[in-house]
Amino acid sequence: MSRVVVAGSFNVDHVWHCATLPRPGETLAGGYSTGPGGKGFNQAVASALAGADTTFVCALGDDDGGRLARRLAAAHGIDLRAAASEAATGTAGIYVGDDGTNSIVIGPGANAALTPEFVAAQGEAIAAADVVLAQLESPLHAIVEALRLARASGAHTLLNPAPANAGCSRELLAVAEVLTPNETEFSGLLARHCGADVDPAALAGLDDEHLHRLCRTLLPRGTVVLTLGAMGCFVSHREDSLRGDGQAHYRCPAAAARVVDTTGAGDAFNGALAASLAGGPTRPFATHVRFATRYAALSTERPGAAAAMPGGDEVASRFPGA
């Protein structure tokens, strides 16, 4: 069976649904809900539901949030490896507008307790993985260790450099085989590491050759999958490593969706991409990207983050040929 290890965060999401997102100084009335989230957990749930045998490496508090994480991981068949923390389990405050857009503030809490030592103690699981996936809501030195161990064992490494303000380092980029930024994250990485000033809102409109050059400058030795929201995504490979594709760069259109809530859509994409890569390493990379794009689209038709993740069979039913 295909195996994915996700190293990252778990948060308890507190969600307010309102007609529009609140502006500075504005108070709005809205509906409230709560549920599981955190980029790491969202991606682990997506990976598991998309068909991969999934291990989730994280840090949790000894509280209701931590118990929720353990209960839900068990329900989804996820092998949970959680470092204990005296801090409260992580939280997130999320505002969702009627158009599905969102604004999020994270309280890291126990997520900050994930250490390289704890990650290294999960070395056997990492060594057995086909793909190791990570994001940036956990301490960067712990994430570097997870991807470093994965590369040493021959597993594919997939880095989602989110959130954008987390300060992704060159050391981390060096162990990323596949990088999956959105427009804001990509623009920030270009400014930080390449001295390039690119408006994130203009990226989708750039010609493909220009986008490809920017990707090659940022990650010369790996593949970049730049997610562009409703415009789909742009894929850029190294010229001598096309991963089964027929060309070094191309666009993959977004799948049509009846959007309710975009919270967690990026996590859905990443978890599904990891699961698909793990399950079909000899298939063209474009096949995995197309599946992940459709999986993410379907996740936006439901409210919530982890709770919105569909099963792989649902994607196949909704999008034949996925």
Tell me the pLDDT tens digit for each residue of 194-242. 999 999 999 999 999 999 999 999 999 999 999 998 899 999 999 999 9
DSSP one-letter code for 84: E
Q: Is 42 annotated as a binding residue?
A: yes
Number of structural domains in the chain: 1
- Show the domain range for 280: 3-8+39-86+112-177+255-318
Structure tokens belonging to residue 30: 């809205």
Residue 267 labelled as part of a binding site: yes
Question: Residue 261 has what pLDDT?
Answer: 85
230 is in an annotated binding site: yes
Is 152 within a domain?
yes
Could you count the other beta carbons within 10 Å of the beta carbon of residue 200?
17
On whether residue 286 sits in a domain, the answer given is yes
39 is in an annotated binding site: yes
The separation between CA 63 and the C-alpha centre of its own chain, rounded to angstroms, equals: 25
Tell whether 137 is in a known binding site.
yes
pTM above 0.85, yes or no: yes
Write out the two tokens for 240: 């001598």
Q: Look at residue 21 and tell me whether its pLDDT is greater than 60.
A: yes
Is the residue at 123 inside a domain?
A: yes
Q: Give catalytic residue positions.
A: 267
Averaged pLDDT of the chain: 95
Instruction: For 89-100, write each residue's pLDDT tens digit.
Output: 999 998 989 887
Does residue 304 belong to any structural domain of this protein? yes
What is the CATH number for 273?
3.40.1190.20
Q: In the Cβ-directed half-sphere of 242, how many Cα atoms lie within 13 Å?
A: 10
Q: Distance between CA atoms of 276 and 123, rounded to whole angstroms?
A: 22
Q: Reduced to 3 states, what is the DSSP secondary structure of residue 78?
A: coil
Cis preceding-peptide flag for 200 (omega within 30 of 0): no
